[in-house]
Structure 1
């Protein structure tokens, strides 16, 4: 008999006791060693909570690293591709970091919390790499993943709900801004950030106050039909908003096993996050060479004909396979069949004549569809309320 057979494989987050009450489907998965809800009741209802009312997603398993010390800015400028000095105090910046070959290790958000005080949030674990890279810099790096609880509060009534909970100052908080307020003796950090492409906020607090924060939030949000959501609903929303996901749309360079499976920032459509005005940063030499010589792959968003999502489909051009789909979804609000694809085409090649080779199963029978695709320049969902300041109070 195994004495450890009843021990949980995944750790509970600070909100787990409350999630159990909402998760009628008992649909659980794992994220970074923590237990996460895949869905609570109905994926479609959870998705429409994001777009119609207020949706709450547990962000606690995200890796969170506090970087402090006299060389904090210089160190982060060395490991990130964008100019960290341009992310002012009280602001959040979207960032990527690369290995020496210029291949993306991960993307994430950098919070400038104070003088020489930053928090880097990432999907994949990066503590060891950050620690090794800090050699020669006067910095301290602390893994806050287990001590900082986080909730994403997203949707058109999210500002109204947080205001009803007692959060003041939201009316002047701009996108990617940070606000600190007091909550039951703890510092509650509110950032106007999210992964849904909608109006929304993320709440960051010590894990000891996690249950109290959940209770206060849901009490304030009850009149506004607040709803807990899982990763399945969030997946639809992030695709509709045009956001990439590590491990889905690209293989993090540090975890790749096979050569050629990783991607550079240019190949992911993230070249705007590479600042060559900085003298040194990881992968700079390789990225300069790629900029001059051209990239092997191109990232494109495709509007796919029909309503069959092009999951894991090949992309054809004039009958020849030129790429694959990494993410796909029928987007209910945008009414678009959207797909993200990696194409092995020259940068100056035409994006006309693209076709998705889609396979889907109905009643034990597999069907094949050749669906025409049109490359689009921007995500189909981008509402004005996402940037409106003050945020709309509904």
Structure 2
């Protein structure tokens, strides 16, 4: 494993030691200069903004113009070597051979019991060389899984800066920045540009369910990238956004989040609190045509015998978000599940949620209710609301699929 200078603690004082353990993205100072809320949280060792100026304006920038989120703390691992493809195919549930060079694929990986350790994206950089990105740190699991394979794995988290550029004017902004031909990139494509002598990787990916891109560059060139991006987008409504706006966008898109909608299997301490891909509505990522992958036997058994849980999208009556609500069989009936993510969707004009249902219980899809508790002026209120299971994401605009995107 390669360590950067930022990782090494050589100072003697406790305060200096603490400072060395708290990392800052190369975009941190740019965000501090814009911040008027001082709302931050810790994503692993990094300091990340919850809100920069105004959460509502940041959210609408994603949906109406261009929002920019700092994704630098995401875990990043470069994987190469003679057995790289075989290793990746053994690690994850989908067939990596179908992710061609210059493409990106969403995936999950499991333990031997078929429970999800994490989800993430595989960037096929060139033949036999991959970049695996995930929310959680995965170096130990990757090294354990690599036993018997001739592969080289290096952690690039502290070397590669990343910005998610999302929204209807994102493509036009990147064109104005000088990224010629960016409009021809298809969803889940990736390409490279020269940016002042540095290699800039651009992928048409994101976590908002909208038209969007992610920009990947080395730390030394990161501030120059930020300046060029915001100069190009100044007439296209560009705005730096925090995690709160991103959270609302990902719930509307129906995207799951580790630690919120599922407990990573290697962090779970209670029996049956983990989840399989089938229980997270990700069965489409499990390819049994592969000869072997970690968790295959357990997942094949589950497919034959049935799952314990079912992840569903709920459209709930009213406008009170069902945060942490129980899901019931009928009003006042027996508990059949729980809401993991909830929000009022401004664009869908709907009260939306993701929930996990217990399939060992008798469930009537046409008579589902949620029990909502909310606080108003220091007083708690209880509300019953009928819920409808829906198949499609609450926000799924055609523009995220169109190539080339509209020049707006």
TM-score by length of 2: 0.95
Q: Is the 8 A contact 1:298 1:347 kept in 2?
A: no
Residue 329 of structure 1: aligned partner: 343
Structure 1 position 252, deviation (Å): 0.2
Structure 1 position 350, deviation (Å): 3.4
Residue 168 of structure 1: aligned partner: 180
Indicate which of 170, 177, 180 corresponds to 1:158. Answer: 170
Unpaired segments ≥5 residues, structure 2: 1-11
Alpha-carbon distance in 1 for matches of 2:87, 2:97: 11
Alpha-carbon distance in 2 for matches of 1:389, 1:54: 18
Residues 348/283 of structure 1: CA separation in 2 closer, same or farther (3 Å cut)? farther
Alpha-carbon distance in 1 for matches of 2:98, 2:193: 25
After TM superposition, the structure 1 = structure 2 runs for residues 59-74 of structure 1, keeping only pairs within 5 Å, are 59-74=71-86
Q: Is the 8 A contact 1:240 1:380 kept in 2?
A: yes
Alpha-carbon distance in 1 for matches of 2:271, 2:68: 39
Structure 1 position 169, deviation (Å): 1.5
Structure 1 position 321, deviation (Å): 0.3
RMSD of equivalent CA atoms? 1.3
Alpha-carbon distance in 2 for matches of 1:171, 1:362: 47
Indicate which of 227, 230, 234 corresponds to 1:215. Answer: 227
Residue 312 of structure 2: aligned partner: 300
Structure 1 position 10, deviation (Å): 2.3
Residue 277 of structure 1: aligned partner: 289
Structure 1 position 4, deviation (Å): 2.2
Residue 38, structure 1, aligned to residue 38, structure 2: no
Structure 1 position 102, deviation (Å): 0.3
- 1:225-258: CA deviation from partner (whole Å, max 9, x where unpaired): 2100000000000000110001100000011111
Alpha-carbon distance in 2 for matches of 1:139, 1:348: 48
Residue 389, structure 1, aligned to residue 399, structure 2: no
Alpha-carbon distance in 1 for matches of 2:237, 2:183: 22
Unpaired segments ≥5 residues, structure 1: none
Structure 1 position 5, deviation (Å): 3.3
Residue 77, structure 1, aligned to residue 89, structure 2: yes
Q: Equivalent residue of 2:23, what SS?
A: coil
Residue 351, structure 1, aligned to residue 361, structure 2: no
Q: Is the 8 A contact 2:324 2:338 kept in 1?
A: yes
Q: Is the 8 A contact 1:169 1:179 kept in 2?
A: no
Indicate which of 14, 19, 27 corresponds to 1:4. Answer: 14
Q: Is the 8 A contact 2:336 2:363 kept in 1?
A: no
Q: Is the 8 A contact 1:56 1:228 kept in 2?
A: yes
Structure 1 position 260, deviation (Å): 1.2
- 1:294-313: CA deviation from partner (whole Å, max 9, x where unpaired): 01111110000000000000
Residue 300 of structure 2: aligned partner: 288
Residue 338, structure 1, aligned to residue 352, structure 2: yes
TM-score by length of 1: 0.98
After TM superposition, the structure 1 = structure 2 runs for residues 248-259 of structure 1, keeping only pairs within 5 Å, are 248-259=260-271
Alpha-carbon distance in 1 for matches of 2:160, 2:220: 9
Residues 320/22 of structure 1: CA separation in 2 closer, same or farther (3 Å cut)? same
Structure 1 position 223, deviation (Å): 1.0
Q: Is the 8 A contact 1:54 1:157 kept in 2?
A: yes
Q: Is the 8 A contact 1:56 1:153 kept in 2?
A: yes
- 1:323-374: CA deviation from partner (whole Å, max 9, x where unpaired): 0000000011111111111001259953121001000000011000000000
Alpha-carbon distance in 1 for matches of 2:196, 2:266: 40
Q: Is the 8 A contact 2:329 2:364 kept in 1?
A: no
Residue 314 of structure 1: aligned partner: 326
Indicate which of 269, 274, 292 corresponds to 1:262. Answer: 274
Indicate which of 2, 5, 18 corresponds to 2:30. Answer: 18
Residues 122/347 of structure 1: CA separation in 2 closer, same or farther (3 Å cut)? farther
Indicate which of 116, 135, 152 corresponds to 1:104. Answer: 116
Structure 1 runs (4+) greater than 2 angstroms displaced: 2-10, 345-350
